[in-house]
């Protein structure tokens, strides 16, 4: 590892605090296919907790957080999907919450550029959103006419001008980016209405597709792991399995309505022009083929606070 890069030990699991872990492989800014040449070589180990199956990086790369912020504040390069169909990445989430008859008040946390809120509004929900990126908030206002609160949940709750009584709260691909997911889940409990429902969507870091990718790396003679991507898009330094997500939910004061896995083909790789047309086609074929097997690329969860 490069001496000019700061690494911090990360020996304890964020979910269950166990220190019993196994190494799945290495990951960095050169440990993936088509990696660009870089003067600095960031590299870490991808490890899995033997107790709850949570996946994370050890050691932590100090620069990773800043690289992530730069990526998730660029409205020109960041897209929620390679699909040209509006709302396609949110089909599963809308289908899940639409099981409930009422089209009520909805709060989207980590609202990004407002694409989901726009789609939810068209489907009859009264919408609100929270997003830390000012550029994304400006984009949502200019593109869709949707005002999004710029800040975090704690700032939002301090502002008395906003409602704190939501029938639905959605977190699309948020929990894999926050430092303390349990703290966030506990913090939003007071924002629910009496019968409030929460929808969570995260990548499945233990999916059949990622396990297959790790197998291919081994055949190539490379000790890489595709489970996380701490220093390149989509900048995931932590990853959930179904088991670890369920444990987080239950430890945060919620009861589980349903948890399932589904295909990730609708979300793309979240960056424009990352792959050429042939490689994109090949990737889509692989995803669709492996998608017929269980343990797919995304995890969806419907939950509600235990006191509701």
pLDDT in tens, 160-186: 787 789 999 999 999 999 999 999 999
Strand order in the sheet with 105-109: 149-150, 126-131, 105-109, 166-172, 192-203, 298-305, 254-262
What order of strands is seen across the sheet that includes strand 21-28?
Answer: 21-28, 43-49, 55-58, 238-239
Query: Which whole number is the average pLDDT over 26-53?
Result: 93
Domain that holds residue 65: 7-305
Mean pLDDT for the stretch of residues 218-238: 96
Cα dist from 213 to 5, 222, 259, 284, whole Å: 28, 11, 24, 14
Is the pLDDT at 251 greater than 90? The verdict is yes
Cβ neighbours for 232, distance < 8 A, ≥ 6 positions apart: 29, 32, 35
Q: Is 118 part of a structural domain of the chain?
A: yes
Q: Express each pLDDT in 119-174 by its tens digit.
A: 999 999 999 999 999 999 999 999 999 999 999 999 999 987 877 899 999 999 99
The answer to whether residue 269 scores a pLDDT higher than 50 is no
Judge whether 96 lies within some domain.
yes
Task: Evaluate whether residue 243 is within a structural domain.
Answer: yes
d(CA 89, CA 249): 23
Q: Is 206 part of a structural domain of the chain? A: yes
Global pTM value: 0.91
The number of domains in the chain is: 1
The Cβ of residue 287 has, within 10 Å, a number of other Cβ atoms equal to 16
Q: Is residue 1 part of a domain?
A: no
β-pairing, 126-131 vs 238-239, is unpaired
* CATH number for 209: 3.40.50.150
Query: Is 2 part of any domain?
Result: no
């Amino acid at each position: 590892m490069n001496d000019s890069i700061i690494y911090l030990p990360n020996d304890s699991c964020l979910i269950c605090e166990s220190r019993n872990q196994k190494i799945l492989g290495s990951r960095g800014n050169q440990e993936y296919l088509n990696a660009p040449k870089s003067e600095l070589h960031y590299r870490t180990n991808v490890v899995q907790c033997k107790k709850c199956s949570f996946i994370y990086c050890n050691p932590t790369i100090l620069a990773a957080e800043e690289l992530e912020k730069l990526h998730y504040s660029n409205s020109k390069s960041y897209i929620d999907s390679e699909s040209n169909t509006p709302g396609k990445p949110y089909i599963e989430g809308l289908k899940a919450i639409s099981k409930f008859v009422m089209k009520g008040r909805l709060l989207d946390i980590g609202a990004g550029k407002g694409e989901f809120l726009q789609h939810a509004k068209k489907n009859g929900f009264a919408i609100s959103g929270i997003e830390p990126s000012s550029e994304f908030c400006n984009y949502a206002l200019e593109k869709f006419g949707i005002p999004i609160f710029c800040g975090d949940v704690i700032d939002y709750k301090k502002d008395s001008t906003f409602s704190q009584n939501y029938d639905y709260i959605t977190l699309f691909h948020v929990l894999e980016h926050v430092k303390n997911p349990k703290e966030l889940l506990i913090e939003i409990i007071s924002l629910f209405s009496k019968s409030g429902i929460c929808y969570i969507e995260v990548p499945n870091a233990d999916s059949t597709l990622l396990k297959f990718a790790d197998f291919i790396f081994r055949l190539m003679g490379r000790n890489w792991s595709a489970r996380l991507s701490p220093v390149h898009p989509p900048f995931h330094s932590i990853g959930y399995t179904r088991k670890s997500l369920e444990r987080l939910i239950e430890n945060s004061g919620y009861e589980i309505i349903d948890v399932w896995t589904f295909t990730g083909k609708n979300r793309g790789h979240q960056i424009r022009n990352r792959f050429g047309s042939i490689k994109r086609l090949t990737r889509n074929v692989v995803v669709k083929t492996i998608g017929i097997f269980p343990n797919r690329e995304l995890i969806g969860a419907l939950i509600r606070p235990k006191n509701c």
